[in-house]
Amino acid sequence: MTRRTARSARTGFISLLILLLECAPTTRVEGEAQPLAGRATQGAEEFRIARERMVREQIESRGVRDPRVLAALRKVERHRFVPEALHHLAYSDQPLPIGHGQTISQPYIVAYMTEALELKPSDRVLEIGTGSGYQAAILAELVGEVYSIEIVEALAKESAERLQKLSYKNLKLRTGNGYRGWPEAAPFDAIIVTAAPPSIPSALLDQLAQGGRLVVPVGTMFQELIRVRRTPKGITQEELLPVRFVPMVGEKEAVK
């Protein structure tokens, strides 16, 4: 390559790099454009503004109306439940990886499923799939007692430490097989499943209190979010919306 050709190649590469940087997606905070890569650290006020926008633009605008659910979404700091490298995406409308092949659900799905549980302050709730602990924290803001099970041992340990640091006192956590539920603590007023079984686990139906609600994504390739109710006349169920969750696994398939 001649010196002139090499100089032209370098010039072309620099121009392309500048173009790519200028075209990088940005998120706006109080009218100021900021790269999604963000800064190494972000202030509490900046995160608060991002949460307010998340609730307003991603959740309220799409039909979630329960004021208690909206207040919980505004209060719980989602960035604390994702890896630090993803803090700049914590309030975006998307699921995010949390390690061990698992994800934290997008904020809208968390809000939608929580509202679908029709929670009362006195309720006792079982969560299958603690994950990062974000959904458990939202539930803990809304009800008296939350029981949460995580089958991935490393995730269970991480979420337990995280929730303890955040001073949640009404949460009970365990590592175990969600298909079995938590029989010694049953019955539950509400049960939420944050991974998709191919069919509704019978043990969870058995642990649902009279008048209780179970919200669960069901299916393999194609999944449907289903709400089950236990009524005096028996079990009823309704389809809510199509979804996409990681598969619900049993103990033999669990990731350590």
Active site (annotated) includes residue 148 = no
Rounded to whole angstroms, the Cα distance separating 19 from 225 reads 42
3-state secondary structure of 227: strand
Q: Which of 8, 61, 105, 202 is catalytic?
A: 105
Rounded to whole angstroms, the Cα distance separating 227 from 218 reads 10
HEC secondary structure over 204-216: HHHCEEEEEEEEE
Rounded to whole angstroms, the Cα distance separating 225 from 210 reads 21
Beta strands 208-219; 188-193: pairing state: parallel
Name, in order, each residue with C-beta under 8 angstroms of 79's C-beta and a sequence gap of 6 or more.
42, 47, 87, 90, 91
Q: How many CB atoms lie within 10 A of CB 226?
A: 20
Name, in order, each residue with C-beta under 8 angstroms of 209's C-beta and a sequence gap of 6 or more.
186, 187, 188, 189, 230
Chain-centre distance for alpha carbon 73:
11
**Distance (Å) of CA 223 to CA 177, 242, 243, 244, 248:** 21, 6, 6, 6, 12
Catalytic residues: 105
